């Protein structure tokens, strides 16, 4: 459920007309709904009840500090994959004890930074990383709280580029190695193995692969405990899909949580999850304006002022994003190719999309764009970085202003040897 609805024929985010935001801020612009963000955290928490769960929002999905602060107020933590994301989470008020640090390429500096902040847990993805962490923690006289990220050799997800759990993916260690690494960490004076972690992919629309991955965690937990090793935490990762309106709905948070509780029942562990898309995707839209209609032969291209530089998912993963007119029309739908202004054919959002005809200057909105939208935006073609707006009830505010071309140029320099 989200809070983007038509009122008197005009698309609103909560109590604010998207047209009012476009008039005040210009287009393209991302617009986020506070009520939707809050609701998604609550839905996930309720789904797990009475089992407590750390909902560590995957910051990579939406790193805006106003979004993170909104989620932090609901009790969410943060799953991070860089020192930058940890900094953002802290700045937004996420307490360190709710921050998880994942990723295959953590540098020494980043491990050091994470330890200095006293975060909840570092998810270790390799033997080499474990070694570095042990050494850095030793130098600091600390004990690093960690989980071993297991690669269960089960890939899943909406696109091959976003599947992370397959045996050929770069993420995590094999189940056998996880046992050995865990024991090694346990024997190390500066390492504190708390548990195991898994994350097999994103936009997963079937519970079966998730359940298999959780079973792997269960088996490993039992084996480690049989060796007398303490396993107090399981981190189930993210990955649950959301409806993009072109496919049957994915499983509900309730079904997902019921499966997790059933699969891991009786283990007596603290659970964490790392949802990104589920929390943020349907909480955001990208508002864009029609620049013109380019007609050639029997094709009509709806040229929008948003491009792949603002929303790259269709170009990168052939992703579907519904496009809705900001002002409802009764006109009969016709096929349009939805494109941006960027100078490559990849800058195509959709082919042959059926839409009530729009005119130059009309506003429309790409739906389900709150996750992996603004965070993946760039300044390609020297376009100003897209701004972001947060709505709460009848109020809205700019939470990232448009970065002007002059500001972008100011980061560069003309050396005197030219
Ligand atoms: N935890 C870890 C370790 C991850 O790598 C990810 C996502 C998540 C959690 C959150 O997954 P989610 O709940 O959002 O599915 N840019 C792509 C998605 C990449 C996801 C990468 N990892 C897209 O636009 O579809």
Asked if residues 262 and 222 have their Cβ atoms less than 8 Å apart, the reply is no
- Whichever domain contains 224, its CATH number is 3.20.20.10
- pLDDT single digits (tens) 256-280: 999 999 999 999 999 999 999 999 9
Query: Does residue 417 belong to any structural domain of this protein?
Result: no
Gap between the Cα atoms of 77 and 335, Å rounded:
43
Whether residue 415 is contained in a domain is answered as no
Q: Are strands 284-296 and 363-366 parallel, antiparallel or unpaired?
A: antiparallel
The reply to whether 199 and 146 lie within a common domain is yes
Q: Is 277 in the pocket of ligand 1 (CB under 6 A)?
A: yes
Kindly report the CA angle at 311 between 367 and 204, in degrees rounded to 5? Answer: 65
Q: Residue 356 is inside which H or E element, if any?
A: none
Output the pLDDT for position 36: 98
Residues 385-415 pLDDT 10s: 999 999 999 999 999 999 999 999 999 999 9
127 domain-assigned? yes
The whole-number pLDDT of residue 162 equals 73
User: Do both 313 and 337 map to the same domain?
Assistant: yes
How many distinct structural domains can be found in the chain?
2
Domain stops at, among 245, 279, 313: 279
209 and 62 in one domain?
A: yes
Mean pLDDT, rounded, for 348-373: 97
CA of 276 to the centre of ligand 1 (A): 6
Is 213 in the same domain as 326? Answer: no
Let me know whether 78 and 205 are in one domain.
yes
Residues 6+ apart with CB under 8 A from 16: 391, 394, 395, 396
With a 6 A CB cut-off, is 199 part of the ligand 1 pocket?
A: yes
Instruction: Please check whether residue 88 is in contact with residue 63, taking contact to mean a CB–CB distance below 8 angstroms.
Output: yes
Q: What is the pLDDT of residues 299-332, one digit of tens each?
A: 999 999 999 999 999 999 999 999 999 999 999 9
- For residue 299 the two structure tokens come to 């094709």
Kindly state the average pLDDT of the residues 342-355: 96
Beta carbons within 8 Å of 247's beta carbon, 6+ residues apart: 205, 320
Nearest CA to ligand 1 atom 19: 162
Domain annotation covers residue 418: no
Is residue 278 lining ligand 1, measured as CB closer than 6 Å?
Answer: yes
Whole-number Å distance, alpha carbon 58 to ligand 1 midpoint, is 7
Is the pLDDT at 73 greater than 90? The verdict is yes
pLDDT in tens, 156-203: 887 778 777 777 888 899 999 999 999 999 999 999 999 999 999 999
- Residue 236: which pLDDT band, with cuts at 50, 70 and 90? very high
Given 279, 308, 325, the domain boundary residue is 279
C-beta of 237 in contact with ligand 1 (< 6 A): yes
> Does residue 84 sit in helix, strand or coil?
helix
Task: Pick the catalytic residue from 343, 411, 413, 414.
Answer: 343
Same domain as 8, residue 87: no
Asked whether residue 256 falls in the same domain as residue 286, the answer is no
Write out pLDDT tens, residues 278-303. Answer: 999 999 999 999 999 999 998 999 99
Assigned domain for 59 exists? yes
| Interacting residues of 183 by C-beta distance below 8 A, sequence separation 6+ | 224, 227, 229
Whether residue 172 lies inside any domain: the answer is: yes
Ligand 1 site, residue 372, Cβ cutoff 6 A: yes
- Which structure tokens are listed for 33? 């709904």
Give the ligand 1 atom nearest the CA of 102. Answer: 3
pLDDT at 49: 97
DSSP string for 132-181: HHHHHHHHHT--EEEEEEB--S---SSSGGGB--STTSSSSB-HHHHHHH
Residue-by-residue DSSP string for 25-79: H-SSEEEEEHHHHHHHHHHHHHHHTTS-EEEEEEGGG---HHHHHHHHHTT-EEE
Evaluate if pTM is beyond 0.85: yes
Residue ranges making up the domain that contains 133: 34-279
The three state secondary structure string of 254-320 is HHHHHHHHHHHCCCCCEEEECCCHHHHHHHEEEEEEEEEEEEECCEEEEEECCCCCCCCHHHHHCCC
**What Å distances lie between residue 301 and 285, 312, 347, 400, CA to CA?**
21, 18, 12, 30
Among residues 288, 277, 299, 258, the alpha carbon closest in space to that of 383 is found at 288
How far, in Å, is the centroid of ligand 1 from the Cα of 27?
27
Q: Say if residue 1's pLDDT is above 70.
A: no
Classify burial at 177, counting beta carbons within 10 Å of its beta carbon; exposed 0-12, middle 13-18, buried 19 or more.
middle
Residues 46 and 188 reside in one and the same domain: yes
Cβ atoms of 77 and 100 within 8 Å: the answer is yes
Same domain, 123 and 234: yes
92 plus 144 within the same structural domain: yes
d(CA 152, CA 218) in angstroms, rounded, equals 12
Identify whether 343 is a catalytic site residue. Answer: yes
Predicted confidence at residue 155, as pLDDT, reads 77
Q: Are residue 223 and residue 198 in the same domain, yes or no? A: yes
Q: Which of 41, 238, 243, 308 has the most ligand 1 atoms within 8 A of CB, as the residue to mutate? A: 238
Residue 384 has a pLDDT of: 95
Domain boundary (279, 308, 334) is at 279
């Amino acid at each position: 459920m989200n809070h983007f609805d038509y009122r008197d024929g005009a698309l609103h985010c909560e109590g604010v007309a998207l047209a009012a935001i476009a008039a005040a801020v210009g287009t393209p612009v991302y617009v986020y709904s506070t009520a939707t963000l809050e609701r998604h955290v609550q839905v996930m928490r309720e789904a797990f009840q009475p089992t407590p769960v750390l909902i560590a929002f995957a910051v990579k999905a939406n790193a805006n500090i106003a979004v993170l602060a909104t989620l932090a107020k609901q009790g969410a933590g943060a799953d991070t994959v860089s020192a930058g994301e940890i900094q953002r989470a802290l700045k937004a008020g996420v307490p360190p004890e709710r921050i998880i640090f994942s990723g295959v390429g953590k540098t020494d500096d980043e491990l050091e930074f994470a330890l200095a902040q006293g975060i909840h847990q570092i998810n270790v993805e390799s033997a080499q990383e474990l070694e570095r962490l042990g050494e850095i923690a030793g130098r600091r006289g600390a004990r690093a709280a960690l989980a071993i990220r297991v690669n269960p050799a089960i890939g899943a997800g909406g696109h091959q580029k976003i599947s992370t759990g397959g045996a050929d993916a770069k993420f995590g260690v094999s189940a056998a190695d996880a046992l050995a690494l865990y024991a090694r960490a346990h024997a190390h004076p500066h390492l504190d193995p708390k548990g195991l972690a898994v994350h097999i992919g994103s936009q997963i629309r079937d519970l079966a692969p998730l359940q298999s991955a959780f079973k792997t965690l269960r088996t490993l937990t039992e084996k480690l405990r049989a060796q007398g090793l303490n396993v107090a935490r399981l981190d189930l990762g993210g990955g649950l899909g959301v409806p993009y309106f072109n496919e049957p709905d994915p499983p509900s948070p309730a079904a997902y949580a019921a499966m997790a509780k059933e699969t891991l029942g009786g283990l007596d562990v603290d659970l964490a999850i790392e949802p990104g898309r589920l929390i943020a995707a349907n909480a955001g839209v990208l508002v864009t304006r029609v620049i013109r209609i380019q007609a050639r032969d029997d094709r009509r291209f709806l040229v929008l002022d948003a491009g792949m530089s603002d929303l790259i998912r269709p170009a990168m993963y052939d992703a579907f994003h519904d496009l809705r007119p900001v002002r409802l029309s009764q006109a009969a739908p016709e096929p349009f190719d939805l494109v941006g202004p960027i100078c490559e054919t990849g800058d195509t959002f959709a082919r042959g999309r059926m839409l009530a005809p729009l005119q130059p200057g009309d506003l429309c909105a790409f739906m389900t764009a709150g996750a992996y939208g603004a965070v993946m935006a760039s300044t390609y073609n020297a376009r100003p970085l897209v701004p972001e707006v947060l709505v709460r009830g009848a109020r809205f505010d700019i939470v990232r202003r448009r970065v002007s071309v002059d500001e972008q140029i100011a980061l560069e320099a003309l050396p005197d040897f030219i």
